[in-house]
């Protein structure tokens, strides 16, 4: 009997020591950030959940703002909260400005991507070039601003026509695909001097593949950390194959446009961003001396077009969803527009300073949705120490922007949607507070499209609210739940649209 009783005890004891041994073997070296126990082979992959940024917030409560996990065999350091993120991305900017050497990153923009490229002298030259060219055709001067406004106003008018067609007779329809085309058209006009019809099947198909992109490069993506998943058929492998195909397709689209521009290039007339980039790299503009060869034209243009086409439209989907959820805010915004702009003209960028409530609403939408919850993954470029923890060179770093925007110490009741939080006692916009919403990242990798997209979101929202009233579909429950990728997208919802100025007798449903 003695023998029989001791056997389970012995088994238990050996299991215990085995666990201890495994734990020690798999434990990060001393001085690394703390974090959850990582399982062999998968690490913490199974703990990420459907919305990794929320899991990261929970883990941060337990382990602190700088913690470490393991995805597959990769160590990943996760940064939470403004202090830790600023300390890394701004004060130790160079050391945290890298990108991981993920296989998927090498497929973007024909391997000549700035956004997914590693930190180097060449990268710096490419970023300067992309940034300057984008600015020259968007917000740099009064003239470029004027042109941008014309594009946005034209797309907004087209959008409203599309809304009225789809919503004829009070019908409910999904507005988000129209936002995608409208926004892609603005960026396409800036990049290539061209726009597409909402009925253009090929253009829509090209844009429709965006979600797959985000699912591959977003923080919860597994394709790069579990390489063995490439060996047999499974959902992760098919996401990766779709990713290869869509990158090829986007790059081909851009290559054809660039080829056209090369054929018709005229140094006396810079028509759009493509011309500007060609001028700098191929026509003695200094890019070549900095080591940027010809194929960086296509790489850079794919970056700008790729990053710009769907982010801003996702913001507009959240704007609209939140307007539907808060109809009284919609009425207040319309009242502000009517007071400041009047009914005789459309709102313009010059009205921005006089529409604090609309600005506050947009910032609250960015904060509350935090629809880019985690930035594109970073990597360290050298051995660094952060908040006393050692992080070796080439460690993957996730930056949790959501944690900044939902920090209870920073925002009162962060889970409530309240544009009023951005207004001071005199109903003026609190600039310090709007600056502390983090959605474009910070430091050396900060988004280069921030000014452009904020202006675009402002103009589209202002024009749409000035012209239309949006109503929710009573048969649907509006939820903040979302589809996860690099960007969070609302679950599909439908609206009905009414023109505000149409005479009553013409309005759908009022015919009698
Ligand atoms: C509301 C819209 C947008 C949001 C929320 C957004 C957000 C971001 C974020 C979070 C990053 C990653 C930063 C990091 O890794 O730390 C990024 C990078 C980037 N964005 Fe945006 N973006 C938006 C619109 C745009 C637009 C319109 C363009 C261009 C026309 C653009 C171009 C880029 C580029 C080129 C990068 C790569 C920067 C680098 O790696 O150095 N973005 N953006």
Domains of the chain: 32-506 (1.10.630.10)
- The answer to whether 503 and 510 have CB atoms below 8 angstroms apart is no
Q: Which residue, by CA, sits nearest to atom 3 of ligand 1?
A: 311
Ligand 1 centroid vs 158 CA: distance in angstroms? 26
The b-or-e profile of 75-114 (16+ CB within 10 A means b, else e) is bbbbbbbbebbbbbbeebbebbbbbbebebbebbbbebbb
Mutate which of 79, 190, 449 for ligand 1 pocket (most atoms within 8 A of beta carbon): 449
d(CA 441, CA 50) in angstroms, rounded, equals 22
Counting from 1 in the atom list of ligand 1, the atom nearest the Cα of 303 is: 35
d(CA 269, CA 176) in angstroms, rounded, equals 36
Pocket of ligand 1 (CB under 6 A): 114-115, 127, 130, 134, 187, 303-304, 307-308, 311-312, 315, 372, 375-376, 378, 399, 439-441, 445, 447-449, 452-453
Q: Which helix (H) or strand (E) holds 182?
A: helix 176-192
- What are the pLDDT tens digits along the chain (512 aa)? 445 556 777 777 666 666 655 555 555 667 999 999 999 888 998 888 888 999 999 999 999 999 999 998 899 999 999 999 999 999 999 999 999 998 888 888 888 999 999 999 999 999 999 999 999 998 888 889 999 999 999 999 999 999 999 998 889 999 999 999 999 999 999 999 988 888 888 788 788 776 667 666 666 677 777 777 777 777 778 878 888 888 888 899 999 999 999 999 999 999 999 999 999 999 877 888 888 999 999 999 999 998 887 889 999 999 999 999 999 999 999 999 999 999 999 999 999 999 999 999 999 999 999 999 999 999 999 999 999 999 999 999 999 999 999 999 999 999 999 999 999 999 999 999 999 999 999 999 999 999 999 999 999 999 999 999 999 999 999 888 888 878 899 999 999 999 998 644 444 444 33
Counting from 1 in the atom list of ligand 1, the atom nearest the Cα of 116 is: 40
Q: Which residue, by CA, sits nearest to atom 40 of ligand 1?
A: 115
Q: What is the reported pTM?
A: 0.90
Exposed / middle / buried, residue 379 (Cβ in 10 Å: 0-12, 13-18, 19+): buried
Ligand 1 centroid vs 448 CA: distance in angstroms? 6
Mutate which of 307, 401, 439 for ligand 1 pocket (most atoms within 8 A of beta carbon): 307
Q: Which residue, by CA, sits nearest to atom 17 of ligand 1?
A: 447
- The answer to whether 275 and 135 have CB atoms below 8 angstroms apart is no
Annotate 338-361 with three-state secondary structure.
HHHCCCCCCCCHHHHHHCHHHHHH
Task: Say which residues have a Cβ less than 8 Å from residue 237's Cβ, sequence separation at least 6.
Answer: 223, 229, 230
Exposed / middle / buried, residue 502 (Cβ in 10 Å: 0-12, 13-18, 19+): middle
Ligand 1 centroid vs 201 CA: distance in angstroms? 27
Q: Which residue, by CA, sits nearest to atom 21 of ligand 1?
A: 447
Q: Is 506 annotated as a binding residue?
A: no
d(CA 124, CA 118) in angstroms, rounded, equals 10
Ligand 1 centroid vs 396 CA: distance in angstroms? 19
- The answer to whether 408 and 122 have CB atoms below 8 angstroms apart is no
Write out the two tokens for 31. Answer: 């001085």
Ligand 1 centroid vs 441 CA: distance in angstroms? 8
Mutate which of 190, 376, 447, 450 for ligand 1 pocket (most atoms within 8 A of beta carbon): 447
Counting from 1 in the atom list of ligand 1, the atom nearest the Cα of 138 is: 30
């Amino acid at each position: 009997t003695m023998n029989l009783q001791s056997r389970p005890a012995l088994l238990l004891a050996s299991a215990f020591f085995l666990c201890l041994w495994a734990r020690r073997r798999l434990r990060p070296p001393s001085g690394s950030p703390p974090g959850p126990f990582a399982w062999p082979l998968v690490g913490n992959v199974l703990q990420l959940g459907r919305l990794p940024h929320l899991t990261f917030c929970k883990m941060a409560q337990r382990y602190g703002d700088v913690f470490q996990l393991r995805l597959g065999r990769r160590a990943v350091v996760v940064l939470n909260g403004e202090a830790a993120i600023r300390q890394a991305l701004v004060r130790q900017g160079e050391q945290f400005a890298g990108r991981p050497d993920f296989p998927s990153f090498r497929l973007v923009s024909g391997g000549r991507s700035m956004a997914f490229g590693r930190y180097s002298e060449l990268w710096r030259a490419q970023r300067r070039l992309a940034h300057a060219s984008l600015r020259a055709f968007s917000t740099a001067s009064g003239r470029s601003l004027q042109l941008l406004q014309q594009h946005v106003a034209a797309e907004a008018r087209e959008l409203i026509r599309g809304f009225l067609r789809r919503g004829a007779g009070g019908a409910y329809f999904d507005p988000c695909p129209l936002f995608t085309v409208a926004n892609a058209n603005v960026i396409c006009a800036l990049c290539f001097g061209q726009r597409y019809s909402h009925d253009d099947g090929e253009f829509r198909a090209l844009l429709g593949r965006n979600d797959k992109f985000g699912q591959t490069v977003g923080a919860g993506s597994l394709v790069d950390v579990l390489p063995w998943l490439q060996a047999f058929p499974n959902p992760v492998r098919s996401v990766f194959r779709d990713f290869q195909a869509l990158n090829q397709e986007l790059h081909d689209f851009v290559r054809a446009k660039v080829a056209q521009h090369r054929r018709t290039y005229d140094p006396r007339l810079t028509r759009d961003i493509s011309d500007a980039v060609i001028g700098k790299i191929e026509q003695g503009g200094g890019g070549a001396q900095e080591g940027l060869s010809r194929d960086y034209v296509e790489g850079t243009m794919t970056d700008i077009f790729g990053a710009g086409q769907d982010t801003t439209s996702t913001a507009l989907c959240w704007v609209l969803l939140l307007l539907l959820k808060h109809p009284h805010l919609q009425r207040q915004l319309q009242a502000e527009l009517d007071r400041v702009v009047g009914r005789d003209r459309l709102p313009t960028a010059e009205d921005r300073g006089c529409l604090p409530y609309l600005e506050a609403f947009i910032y609250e939408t960015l904060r509350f949705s935090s629809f880019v919850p985690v930035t594109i993954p970073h990597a360290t470029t050298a051995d660094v120490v952060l908040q006393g923890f050692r992080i070796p060179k080439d460690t993957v770093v996730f930056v949790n922007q959501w944690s900044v925007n939902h920090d209870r110490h920073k925002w009162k009741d962060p889970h409530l949607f309240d544009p009023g939080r951005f207004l001071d006692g005199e109903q003026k916009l609190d600039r310090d507070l709007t600056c502390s919403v983090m959605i474009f990242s910070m430091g050396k990798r900060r988004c280069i499209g921030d000014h452009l997209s904020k202006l675009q979101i402002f103009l589209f929202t202002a024009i749409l609210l000035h012209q239309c009233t949006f109503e929710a579909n009573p048969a649907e429950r509006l939820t903040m739940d979302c589809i996860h990728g690099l960007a969070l997208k609302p679950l599909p919802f439908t609206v009905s649209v009414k023109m505000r100025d149409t005479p009553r007798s013409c309005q759908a449903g009022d015919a009698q």
